[in-house]
Amino acid sequence: MHSIMRCMTELILIRHGETDWNRELRFQGQVDVALNSLGHEQSRRLAERLAAERPVVDHLICSDLVRTRQTAQPSLQVLFPQACIETLTDSSLREQDFGVVDGMRVDDIKAAHADAWARWLRFDADSGMPGGETTRQFHTRVMGAVRRIAQQHAGKTVLVVTHGGVLDMIWRTAHGQGLAGPRQSDIPNAGLSRVRVDGDALQVLHWADTRHLADLPAQPVYDQARLLVR
């Protein structure tokens, strides 16, 4: 029984703090957008919470994009003050690549890439924006990274700072939800979620905890289901 428990890995999952493009509901994708002032405050609040609660964390890893590195930095200083964030990044934890529409607002996409937008709204697992990843390709990349991290840190707890789309892929996998269809989970900026990885099985322990952000301004919400009725 002890050896079985040792193979389980717990991941504390954090979506990066807010950026101006989040506020504008742009497709950020893999464009290297920095946090805005609220995003920095969210990241500071997250680090304060970790400092107060002192969860057991054995390792930290984040996407290599600047918004995740900036989010992770205050927590890194609390948990591993001697570590360097540049050595703890993993490009496989990046957001989905949206190709030609990276950086664009929905209305601009509808005007400039009407056919691609119509295909996007089908939320088909094997469809993606021109020049970008399909949802299935993205899912394969994300879950490969999750399982590799879990294997490398078996029996440990890892803080993972990443992106909304990455967390959606993890949530879908844990709940046995297919890749087609709009997102159904809440994924707030600087929200805290926790999952347990046991081989190929994922279990959500808790999801989208934002108690540390309670008195901050309301967040912009990317609601895919709402896009269907626009």
Instruction: Indicate the SS3 state at residue 87.
Output: helix
Q: How many CA atoms lie within 13 A of 100 on its CB side?
A: 14
Pair type for strands 192-198 and 9-15: antiparallel
Whats the size of the chain, residue-wise?
Answer: 230
In the annotated binding site, the residues are 15-22, 67
16 is catalytic: yes
Which of 10, 24, 95, 113 is flagged as catalytic?
95
43 CB burial (10 A radius; 0-12, 13-18, 19+): buried
Q: Of 16, 113, 163, 212, which is the active-site residue?
A: 16
Query: What does the alpha-carbon distance between residue 181 and residue 135 come to, in Å, rounded to a whole number?
Result: 10
Give every CB contact of residue 17 below 8 A, 6+ residues apart in sequence. 35, 38, 39, 40, 41, 42, 43, 46, 67, 70, 71, 189, 190
Which positions ≥6 away from 152 have C-beta within 8 Å? none
- Cβ 96 vs Cβ 165: under 8 Å: yes
Annotated binding site for substrate: 15-22, 67
Q: How far apart are CA 99 and CA 110, in angstroms?
A: 15
**In the annotation, is 133 catalytic?**
no
CA atoms within 13 A on the CB side of 158: 25
**Catalytic residue set:** 16, 95
